[in-house]
Amino acid sequence: MDFKDSPEQAEFRRTVRQWLQQNARPKNDGAQRKSQGELYEEAKLWYQKVADAGFACLDWPKEYGGAGLSQLHKVIWSQEVSAFAEPDGYFVIGIGNCGPAIMHFASEEQKRDLLPRMASAEDVWCQMFSEPSAGSDVAGLRTSAVKRGDKWIINGQKIWTSGAQHSDYGVVLCRTDTEVSKYRGLTMFFIDMHQPGVEVRPIKQMDGDAHFNEVFFNDAEIPDHQRLGEVGGGWGAALLVLMNERLAISGVQPDGFPEFLQLVKTLRLDGEPISSDPLVKAFLAECYYRHAGVKAASNRMLTAVAKGGMPGAEAALGKLVGAAMNQDIANFALQLMDGAGAVMEPELARQQAHFQKTVLFSPGIRLAGGTDEVMRNIIAEQVLGMPQEPRADKGMAFKDIPSGNQHP
């Protein structure tokens, strides 16, 4: 990838930087603990401000609420906005995952109606794939959609749905045929999260917030025009969403290195800079080569996408390495802080309690977008070309797959 901006890109960077300096909050500016509701409202206001300035969804067509630019313009925006304390990646699930699904499968009328409101966060979206009985096997889901006339009746449960309690719409993957293999019997829809038959139950986590949710469908009725793609074509549609999800997550996935480098530069041990400690030096070096490697791999992937390619399985690399590294760094940082690591108030804690909050939230990040084990399988099979794991249910009709609910 050529890391030098073209004249046009350099001018765009100057424009973005100038706008951010005038409209975005600097980091470390009066940080304080905020509730999830406060953060949500703050993010809504920020996204609307970005949209009004013409910087929302830079690579989307203008008629869908975007700017009609390229992936490289998105990279420039991400690089510049990272220097400010704004929630720029707050609605990445909807825009990064659901947006491409609507763009690819919805009607032209639906695109023009739904996408601009998504881009400005007037409407918030969530993605509903995971289920309690399926675990990491998305294709093993059991939420059913049954056709009745020109409508579908949905029943079942989803889990680990990020932001569902704040969402207006969601993309949902359902089983529409049990007579074929688990991959061929799926269909994708979008649904109004406020309609009858949809119930959201937040899952409280150890950091005190509810980032994930359970979603229950009880005879939720939707029209056929809310189907995304062909009946039985849900697995292909899901792969499109998942590939874009990993690309989107790779763009905002924190690995913790910049914050750790800042900490190491400021901490002292017995009057000496902690950066002179051999163990700290070794850990810092290990973190740096991982950080640099993921950044290079991400840039290579973005180059391919900018040239018209699709986001590939390589995006799993950033998720796998970055999420684990973020957790490891936070744990190491709290050990360096000793007793001060227990202070959670941003106005009192070092670096506004960044590492304290990360320790509590980072386990969830390792689940979101696919577990470590799923990421390793994707990399092994789709990037390295290694043999697939044995699958006993391959080709078997879904109704014939043994489950814990069956009795002799």
Each residue's pLDDT expressed in tens, for the chain with a length of 408 residues: 555 778 998 999 999 999 999 999 988 655 566 777 888 999 999 999 999 999 999 999 999 999 999 878 888 898 899 889 899 989 988 998 899 999 999 999 999 999 999 999 999 999 999 999 887 788 999 999 999 999 999 999 999 999 999 999 999 999 999 999 999 999 999 999 999 999 999 998 888 888 899 999 999 999 999 999 999 999 999 888 777 665 555 555 678 999 999 999 989 888 888 988 999 999 999 999 999 988 887 777 766 666 666 556 667 788 888 889 999 999 999 999 988 889 988 888 888 888 999 999 888 888 777 788 888 888 888 888 899 888 878 888 999 888 765 544
pLDDT reported for residue 407: 42
Fold type of domain 253-383: Butyryl-CoA Dehydrogenase, subunit A; domain 3 (1.20.140)
pLDDT reported for residue 2: 53
pLDDT reported for residue 205: 85
pLDDT reported for residue 161: 93
- Residues 35/36/38/41 CA torsion (nearest 10 deg): 180
Spell out the residues 6+ positions from residue 324 whose beta carbon is closer than 8 angstroms to its own.
366, 372
Catalytic sites, residue numbers = 245
Q: Could you give the CA distance from residue 341 to residue 273 in angstroms, rounded to a whole number?
A: 18
Domain boundaries defined on the chain: 7-90, 125-233, 253-383
Nearest to 260 by CA among 292, 229, 283: 283
Query: Where are the strands (E) in 17-73, listed by range?
Result: none
CATH 3.90.1150.10 fits 125-233, yes or no: no
pLDDT reported for residue 129: 93
Q: Rounded to the nearest 5 degrees, what angle is found at the Cα of 143, between the Cα atoms of 377 and 183? A: 45
Q: Could you give the CA distance from residue 267 to residue 330 in angstroms, rounded to a whole number?
A: 15
Whole-model pTM?
A: 0.86
The beta-carbon contacts of 113-117 under 8 Å, at least 24 apart in sequence, are 114/169, 115/57, 115/60, 115/64, 115/65, 115/66, 116/64, 116/65, 117/65
